[in-house]
Amino acid sequence: MRNSGFKILTEALTGNKGWKANWRQPTPKSAYDVIIVGAGGHGLATAYYLAKEFDITNVAVLEKGWIGSGNVGRNTTIIRSNYMLPGNEPFYEWSMKLWEGLEQDLNYNVMVSQRGILNLFHNDPQRDTFIRRGNAMRLAGADAVLLDREDVQKMCPFFDFNSSRFPIKGGLLQPRGGTVRHDAVAWGYARKGDELGVDILQNCEVQSFMIEGGVCKGVETTKGSIKAKKVAVCVAGSSGRVMAMAGIRVPIESHVMQAFVSEALKPVIPGVVTFGAGHFYVSQSDKGGLVFGGDIDGYNSYAQRGNLPVVEDVCEGGMAIMPMIGRARILRMWGGTVDMSMDGSPFIDKTHIEGLYFNGGWCYGGFKATPASGWCYAHLLANEKPHEVASEFRLDRFSRGHIIDEKGMGAQPNLH
Amino acid sequence: MSQINRISGGLIDRDKTLNFKFDGRVFEGHPGDTLASALLANGQRLVGRSFKYHRPRGIVTAGSEEPNALVQLRRGAHQEPNTRATETELFEGLEATSQNHRGSLKYDLMAVNDLLSPFLTAGFYYKTFMWPKGFWEKVYEPAIRASAGLGRLSGEPDPDTYDKGFLHCDILIIGGGAAGLSAALTAGRSGARVILAEENFRMGGRLIAETLELGGMSGTEWVTETLAELTAMTNLRFMPRTTVYGAFDHGIYGTLERMTDHLSSNEQKPRQVLWRIYSKRAILCAGATERLIAFGNNDRPGVMLAGATRAYVNRWAVTPGQRIAIFTNNNDGWRTATDLTEKGVEVTAVVDTRDGPARVTPSGASVVMGGRIIDTKGRHGIRSLTLSNGQTIPADCLAVSGGWNPNVHLTCHQGGRPVWRDDIAAFTPGDNLPVGMTVAGAANGSLGLAGALAEGGKAGNVATQDIGYSRSNYTAPKTEEEAVGISAFWYVKESRQRSWLDLQNDVTIKDVQLACQEGFSAVEHMKRYTTLGMATDQGKMANVPALAVLAECTNKSIPDTGTTVFRPPYSPVSIGAFAGRSRGNDFRPYRLTPSHDWAVEQSAVFVETGMWLRARWFPQPGETHWRQHVDREVLQTRKSVGVCDVTTLGKIDIQGRDAPAFLNSVYANAFGKLAVGKVRYGLMLREDGIAMDDGTTARLSEKRFVMTTTTANAVSVFRHLEFCRQCLWPGMDVHVISATEQFAQYSVAGPNSRRLLGRLVDPEFDISNEAFPFMACAEITVCGGTPARLFRISFSGELAYEIAVPTRYGDALIRVLIAAGEPFDVVPYGTEALSVMRIEKGHPAGGELNGQTTAHDLGMGRLLSKSTDYIGNTLRQRPGLNFEDRPTLMGFRPVDRSTNLTAGAHIIAKGKEATMENDEGWISSVASSPTLKYSIGLGFIKRGSRRLGDVIRVVNPLKGEDVEAEIVSPHFFDPDGERLRV
Ligand SMILES: Cc1cc2nc3c(=O)[nH]c(=O)nc-3n(C[C@H](O)[C@H](O)[C@H](O)COP(=O)(O)OP(=O)(O)OC[C@H]3O[C@@H](n4cnc5c(N)ncnc54)[C@H](O)[C@@H]3O)c2cc1C
């Protein structure tokens, strides 16, 4: 069913009775060509691109809850391609390009909103690393602009320029960065995938893998056993637990990441602003809520909730940089389990078990990766070799020493 | 204007009159009023506009669940958006304005949205605004954004202060109604340390809003008597105006106390205090929230919860209307009729959805059993109601009772799921409560008064006994128990008009049904698709009725449909309170160096390095550009002598029999054989083989070393050493302690540095080149007996020392150093000169030790110990850290010496396109070298050491720079280190 201006008009005039379910509620078949475990953004995107780009339509996406119940529905919706390292930047830039055409591709308005992302710096060394990063982005064909203090002041007059503990010296702006309506991404991919024949199986939790003689032949689920030629795991925060069922220990720790939204306010914040020195970032949603966050809580956890030290730390950062928000109120705070990898970069790879594939390690920043991750994972599943922009996202990169550590933090996942 | 709706009784102080303004008009009220009760008293029914359709909105509740009566409170920088009039205590001079309209509140131009509502159904955005491509970004979204939001921020810094505090107690009681007060009585009498927190400014909960009798007293009398006992207890902390907004791990409760929000001016006192309450036990007595029944145009001003109507009449002596009708599915509707009649307010009808006999019939009222209201009339406030039987009922207020939802929110903050109870048609707390929490009273589903009193008293006793206190005597006062008698009724199917569920976000029954029709039948999907429950009230009233509608669509029961997850905060909390005093200059503490005061006297310019403030340079009269300060400081140091405060470098005291072995293992270069009285440069790797930090370590005695780290890594290196000591080699006899703040340390550098020091080092210590050569160290005394440590090390490349004294002598020492240097024209130098000299000398610092480079990358491969094992030794050998092409540290200088290099620029071969494939490295640090008189840079380039003399391009697309540069040794100045050893 296509969305169009005409359709909306006719539906409005006939009581909106003709809108159909966006996806079927199919009963599981006994076997599929590909089973994707996890109907988050990445899983659903993978299914869609498998069907659309690689003609593999006998696909099921298995979700233990409702689609989008994981991090795709909990994140702060920021998209950007402001990475520095060659292992990352081309991938994220390609993802950005896919975002830019996604509405037309999916015939669904996921509200890609490129209002810019600004990273502030406060001293010369920070500026120098931003220049290095900004130049890497430019070399990779992305956009980046270096702002001085006056430029920043023009863009965000409400920052504290007078009494701030860490005076603002300038910032690195990616004008094409921005936000996307997160739930809509899951829904849009699900809807299109379903249309192309993908079975989306909700409330269908994978409980074990059928592994025989080193080959994965399918999965056991809460809805029975389902066979598959290929099983593609894509469970973000549950990566450790799910892969453990296949006897695989992944180089990932699970951490809590909190996020916050304020009551709806008339528009004040132009794009996305990140205040690294204060561990705070913020944007304003189309409804008017300030959507913000900061550091991860720092301890390993599967509980999708956080605690007060980080809540207070984040708000301190917010007040330090924009003291006008003191009288805005936090409406809701929540947490997601993020799959923090040892170098802060992700994996899209085969495992040593034939027929079992892994996608994870997205840390707190995999939402922006959704389109490219889906495409590259589909590419790997279809062609048995990595897509060129994702060729560094290998599970064995630690043993080979080809780490992709943007922040230079080392193998301490809670510091990335 | 007179208070036309003011009636007799109530808990207001009629002796005083308070003036306030709403939308510019002046009204009167009394102490004890809320803004809402005062507005109602003055007959103001229209108070706001809804979010999406800009429908007229009136006051519906009397508490924190209010979705409609949101105002912009106060003015200027104090203005506070989305403030609930129902919770705002009236004060003299209060000013409030209505929100979310263009034009006046009454004639809001945005109300056209309402006419477009057939197009603006749930999820309409997702289906549209896509054509033509590009219009979303440029046209539609900006338009949507422009109309987003409700209230407005002032745009100015919040002028108020906020405090934070920690409280510890045995028992935290949340809610000061019948259950909470009873719990406080038993818990308090036992002697346990109790905190009683109540959201409202007045304790009592429903007791002061209803006309119930207990123990022969009115509710208010009983509350007064109970409070008299409680406030006399020294073990009980009494906290009105305090919201417990969240239940966190380990019995920690997030709590907000509003200190001065109810005052005209806070007289410099904090506005709010954010408490973290650490409790052994918590008793949740948070009561219940009433809900509406949905029917056509049930969103008009004048439609009010029945319980709120009673509260206004009984507590606030205000009638919300002159002719009130009642719509109910339970016995509370009738109680409302009785209360109103007693106060002499006309009741025009009681419409009960249940069949069966009427209860009492107020005179003149029509009673319709099994009745259904299908529509209301009245543009800016209801005038009449239409029933499904065709009857029209006049009313300017409709009191609706759809049943009560226990306030289970806090029971769910740690993953608890509520359970459904059919008898009260509501969710009650499940059994997986946060550790240490119990629930009593209406919050627990005991909606009657007797049950609340008994449960509260018992819960207090159970909790105290649990933690070792004895039981207290308590007999709950006698009351008349009345059954709720609810028969679930959610919405009027016969209504043809839109029926509202979420009043603020404009979500109607049709929206929920449409969501379901489109496949959004999971409760979270429905919520996210329709935005139901996402308004500032978090769906306190709307969620359960919406679930009922959804359950019906999906042919499931309500419990099978499930609820969305309740998240903190229970009601919204200002960001300022979470931040407390950590803002502005107090955002993080300043760390000041021992020479700070002296440097201020010298008019130094400071720079933030982490939390430290360091002197960046020391301007001299006549200098106009920072380059002049820096050049002078560098040249004078190189020519004669300079002094720099290097206290910020991390200092770690390492002691123990195994200290040498320990150092041998944490440093990548050998340390075992370092002689007493000697210093060595050390490079430390991370476990993964990447360079972590560098510095020097001095051996002061057999078993005692002192290590220095970079300023940036002082903490992380110390943490790392502790980890190694405690976790990797617990058997080693070694202890480490951070001594960064215990010693003031100055670098004295330059050809005259020895001579300068000679003037303050006590004569018994020989610091001649022979006695105290390069890389020597000693514990000495200066200035006639002051203990000091002297290290002959150099970062600048000059003959140099670092001298350390206990911090308390730091200020004196800098003054002595400068005085002693007078004959040599000593200069103090700042971090910038320090940096210039280290770049001239080719020492790596933060830009090079960035956590991504190896010893080989840094040109220090030769340093790595071959004989000993050390941290990082295994993983550094991985192929990815050793392949040929890895960029290595080199020096760069522009071919055209008049141009400048920029740190962060990338390196591209001549004639190649500037793309990522052709990227060969980057410039990590630059300096304008006054010594060489041109711009120099350190940087990393592929196969660097084999390309000495090659010319490459240094490109900086961000600034449009593209400069040819020559690859040179990173040691621009005195590469053989002759100056160090003289
Ligand atoms: C608070 C927060 C803020 C964030 N902000 C941003 C941001 O601003 N920008 C950004 O780019 N990224 C952000 N992220 C990260 C981003 O959300 C994630 O990296 C990304 O969503 C992960 O991919 P996904 O969508 O596929 O994961 P998910 O949506 O988590 O999908 C995984 C799915 O797997 C399912 N699953 C798990 N186990 C099983 C099983 N055994 N069987 C079946 N199904 C299973 C889960 O239920 C879940 O639905 C943020 C994350 C959080 C938590």
Residue in A44, A185, A235 to alter for ligand 1 test, most ligand atoms within 8 A of Cβ: A235
Q: In angstroms, what separates the C-alpha of B161 from chain A's closest C-alpha?
A: 9
Residues B682 and B764 in one domain: no
B449-476 pLDDT, tens digit each: 999 999 999 999 999 999 999 999 999 9
Asked if B922 lies within 8 A of A132 by C-beta distance, the reply is: yes
- How remote is the CA of residue B18 from the centroid of ligand 1, in Å? 53
Q: What is the rounded distance in angstroms from the CA atom of residue A331 to the CA atom of residue A328?
A: 9
CATH of the domain at B599: 3.30.1360.120
Clarify whether residues B638 and B779 are in a common domain: yes
> Residue B712 in contact with residue B610, Cβ under 8 Å?
yes
Q: What is the pLDDT of residues B241-280, one digit of tens each?
A: 999 999 999 999 999 999 999 999 988 899 999 999 999 9
Nearest CA distance, B680 vs chain A (angstrom): 26
Å from B889 to nearest chain A CA?
Answer: 16
pLDDT > 90: what percent of chain B? 93
pLDDT of residue B22: 98
Average pLDDT over residues A362-369: 97
CA of B333 to the centre of ligand 1 (A): 46
Q: Which residues of B touch A120 (CB under 8 A)?
A: none
ipTM: 0.96
Cβ separation A327–B81 shorter than 8 A: yes
Asked, for residue B631, whether it belongs to a domain, the answer is yes
Q: What is the CATH number of the domain that holds B711?
A: 3.30.70.1400
Q: Which two tokens stand for residue B951?
A: 């010319």
Closest Cα to residue B199, out of B540, B682, B707? B540
Residue nearest to atom 31 of ligand 1 (CA): A40
Phi, psi of A309 (to 5 degrees): -55, -45
| Ligand 1 surroundings by CB, under 6 angstroms | A 37-43, 62-65, 69-72, 74-78, 205-206, 234-238, 242, 257-259, 293, 336, 338, 362, 364-368
Other residues' Cβ atoms within 10 Å of the Cβ of residue A66? 19
CA distances from A21 to A192, B115, B262, B519 (A): 12, 26, 50, 4
Mean pLDDT of chain B: 96
Would you call B955 and A287 a contact, using CB atoms and an 8 Å cutoff? no
Check B608 against A318: CB less than 8 A apart. no
Mark whether B789 and B938 lie in a shared domain: no
At residue B118, the pLDDT reads 85
Note whether residue B508 is domain-resident: no
Judge whether residue B360 has pLDDT over 80: no
pLDDT at residue B916, rounded to an integer: 97
Please give the structure tokens belonging to residue A238.
């549950």
Q: Cα–Cα distance between A345 and A394 in angstroms, integer?
A: 10
Cα–Cα dist B897/A303, whole Å: 59
- Ligand 1 site-directed mutation target among A46, A71, A202, most atoms within 8 Å of CB: A71
Question: In this complex, do B578 and A316 lie within 8 Å of one another by their Cβ atoms?
Answer: yes
Residue B482 pLDDT > 80: no
CA distance B223 to chain A (A): 32
Q: Taking CB atoms and an 8 Å limit, are A183 and B538 in contact across chains?
A: no
pLDDT, tens digit, for every residue of B67-96? 999 999 999 999 999 999 999 999 999 999
User: Which of residues B60, B95, B115 is at a domain's end?
Assistant: B115
Are A326 and B569 inside 8 Å of each other by CB?
Answer: no
Q: In terms of domains, do B684 and B833 share one?
A: no
Quickly tell me which residue has 């476990």 as its tokens: B687
Residue B340 lies in a domain: no
How far does residue A48's CA lie from ligand 1's centre (Å)? 17
Query: Does residue A348 have a pLDDT over 80?
Result: yes
The domain that holds B86 is classified in CATH as 3.10.20.440
Distance A70 CA to ligand 1 centre (A): 5
Nearest chain A alpha carbon to B878: A401
- Do B775 and B732 belong to one domain? no
Tell which atom from ligand 1 comes closest to the C-alpha of A42: 26
What is the A62 CA–ligand 1 centroid distance (Å)? 14
Per-residue three-class SS string for A176-205: CCEECCHHHHHHHHHHHHHHCCCEEECCCC
What residue numbers bound the domain in which B933 lies?
A: 884-982
Is the same domain home to B690 and B641? no
Q: With an 8 Å Cβ cutoff, are B919 and A86 in contact?
A: yes
In a domain, B283, yes or no: no
B chain contacts of residue A404, beta-carbon cutoff 8 Å: none
Q: In chain B, which residue's Cα lies nearest the Cα of A139?
A: B915
Q: What pLDDT, on the 0 to 100 scale, is given for residue B142?
A: 87
Atom of ligand 1 nearest to the CA of A363: 19
pLDDT at residue B427 in the model: 97
Give me the pLDDT at residue B141, please.
87
Across the interface, of A8, A124, A135, the residue whose CB is closest to B119 is A8
Residue nearest atom 48 of ligand 1, based on CA coordinates: A70
Residues B768, B811, single domain; the answer is: yes
pLDDT at residue A3, as a whole number: 86
User: What does the pLDDT read at residue A24?
Assistant: 96
Residue B84 C-alpha from the chain's centroid: 22
Note whether A319 contacts B579, CB cutoff 8 Å.
yes
Task: Indicate which of B100, B127, B521, B560 best probes the interface with A, i.e. most A CBs within 10 Å of its own CB.
Answer: B127
Our mutation pick for probing the ligand 1 site, out of A83, A367, A377, counting the most ligand atoms within 8 A of Cβ, is A367
Band (pLDDT 50/70/90 cuts) for residue B121 is: confident
B890 is a domain residue = yes
pLDDT score, position B129: 83
Closest protein CA for atom 3 of ligand 1: A75
Angstrom distance (rounded) from CA B667 to CA A237: 36
* Structural domains of chain A, ranges and CATH numbers in brackets: 5-78+182-251+343-415 (3.50.50.60), 113-177+253-341 (3.30.9.10)
B763, B636: one domain: yes
| pLDDT for the residue numbered B146 | 84
Q: What is the domain-level CATH number for residue B969?
A: 2.40.30.110
Closest residue in chain A to residue B886, using alpha carbons only: A402
Assigned domain for B349 exists: no
How many domains are contained in chain B?
Answer: 4
Query: Both tokens of residue B741?
Result: 């703040």
Q: Ligand 1 centre and the CA of B773: distance in Å?
A: 60
CA distance B448 to B262: 32
| Number of residues that this document lists for chain B | 982
CA A64 to CA A50: how far, in whole Å? 21
Q: Å from B510 to nearest chain A CA?
A: 9
Q: Calculate the alpha carbon distances from B689 to B718, B723, B869 in Å.
A: 18, 17, 12
Q: Which of B79, B131, B569 sits opposite A330 (nearest CB)?
A: B569
Distance from the A289 Cα atom to the nearest Cα atom in chain B, whole angstroms = 7
Same domain, B832 and B973: no
Contact A330 B924 (CB under 8 A): no
pLDDT digit string (tens) for B283-298? 999 999 999 999 999 9
pTM score, two decimals?
0.97
Q: Look at B125 and A146 and tell me if their CB atoms are within 8 Å.
A: no
CB-nearest to B919 from A109, A139, A166 is A139
Nearest to B128 among A3, A23, A329 (CB): A3
A402 contacts on B by Cβ (under 8 Å) = 880
- Encode pLDDT of B55-68 as tens digits: 999 999 999 999 99
Contact pairs from chain A to chain B, CB under 8 Å = 362
Minimal Cβ distance to B584: which of A73, A160, A331: A160
Query: B982 and B894, same structural domain?
Result: yes
- State the pLDDT confidence band at A301, using cuts at 50, 70 and 90: very high
- Considering the domain architecture, whether residues B765 and B793 belong to the same structural domain is answered as yes
Tens-digit pLDDT profile for residues B938-947: 999 999 989 9
- If we measure between CA atoms, which residue out of B527, B551, B516, B121 comes closest to residue A16? B121
Mutate to test the pocket of ligand 1, among A205, A364, A370, A373 (most ligand atoms within 8 A of CB): A364
Question: Model confidence over B364-400: pLDDT tens digits?
Answer: 899 999 999 999 999 999 999 999 999 999 999 999 9
Q: Which two structure tokens, joined as six digits, stand for B635?
A: 């040249």
CA distances for B304 relative to B368, B385, B515, angstroms: 19, 14, 27
Asked if B797 and B813 sit in the same domain, the reply is: yes
Tens of pLDDT along A109-137? 999 999 999 999 999 999 999 999 999 99
* Stretch B673-691: mean pLDDT: 97
Give chain B positions within 8 Å (CB) of A278.
587
pLDDT value of residue B167: 98
In this structure, is residue B37 part of a structural domain? Answer: yes
On whether residue B622 sits in a domain, the answer given is yes
**Count of H-run helices and E-run strands, chain B:** 24, 51
Q: Return the pLDDT at B403.
A: 97
**Does the bond joining B477 to the residue before it have cis omega, within 30 degrees of 0?**
no
Q: Which residues of B touch A109 (CB under 8 A)?
A: 125-130, 136
Out of A129, A160, A264, closest to residue B51 by CB? A264
* Alpha carbon of B557 to ligand 1 centroid (Å): 30
Phi, psi for B495 (deg, rounded to 5): -65, 130
Q: Which of B685, B716, B738 is the last residue of a domain?
A: B738
Confidence (pLDDT) at A250: 97
Q: Residue A359: helix, strand or coil by DSSP?
A: strand
- Among B738, B765, B790, where does a domain finish? B738
Distance from CA of A73 to the nearest CA of B (A): 9
Q: What pLDDT digit, counting tens, does each position of A211-240 carry?
A: 999 999 999 999 999 999 999 999 999 999
The reply to whether residue B573 touches residue A330, judged by beta carbons under 8 angstroms, is yes
Which residue in the set A125, A287, A333 is minimally distant from B567, CB to CB?
A333
Q: Taking the mean position of all CA atoms in its chain, how far away is CA B837?
A: 42
The whole-angstrom separation of Cα A197 and Cα B561 is 27
